[in-house]
Amino acid sequence: MDKIDSLKQVVIDTLDQNKAQDIISIDLKDKSSMADYMIIASGTSSRHIQALSEQVLEKFKSNGLIDSRIEGKESSEWKLVDGIDLIVHIFHPEKRKFYELEKMWSELIPKEKVMI
């Protein structure tokens, strides 16, 4: 198991232990060059979403990803924690349903359309 795979499991375990809901992991290796994995989870309130994002950021930093950061600090409905090769989205359930990232990224996307 390489470093990114073990970090992915640490993040999933952290989210699970802190009561995040509907945690899923999407393999992006053959779909996009922006990251290897995307993890999507839901929080129960704006405070819960903020706490989860801070805990994920701490796991990234303690595993050597010092350039990691949280996007969406002003939002109470979603956060994105950028771990370079591992992106974590934490949503309020209604916002998650609106964006449907699981559906978008779970479908096989032709490589010609993915190049950024």
Q: Facing residues of 21 across strands?
A: 42
State how far the Cα of 78 lies from the Cα of 72, in Å rounded to an integer: 7
In DSSP notation, the chain reads --HHHHHHHHHHHHHHHTT-EEEEEEE-TTT-SS-SEEEEEE-SSHHHHHHHHHHHHHHHHHTT-TT-EEE-TT-SSEEEEE-SSEEEEEE-HHHHHHH-HHHHHHS---HHHH--
Residue 115 has a pLDDT of: 46
Break the chain into its structural domains and give their ranges.
Answer: 3-103
Residue 11 has a pLDDT of: 97
Residue 33 has a pLDDT of: 78
Count CB neighbours of 27 within 10 A: 12
Topology, domain 3-103: Beta Polymerase; domain 2 (3.30.460)
Q: Model pTM greater than 0.85?
A: yes
Residue 100 has a pLDDT of: 83
Residue 73 has a pLDDT of: 84
Per-residue pLDDT of the chain (116 residues; tens, 9 = 90+): 589 999 999 999 999 999 999 999 999 887 777 889 999 999 999 999 999 999 999 999 999 999 999 999 899 999 999 999 999 999 999 998 887 887 776 665 555 544 44
Residue 106 has a pLDDT of: 66
Q: Are 23 and 13 in contact (CB under 8 A)?
A: no
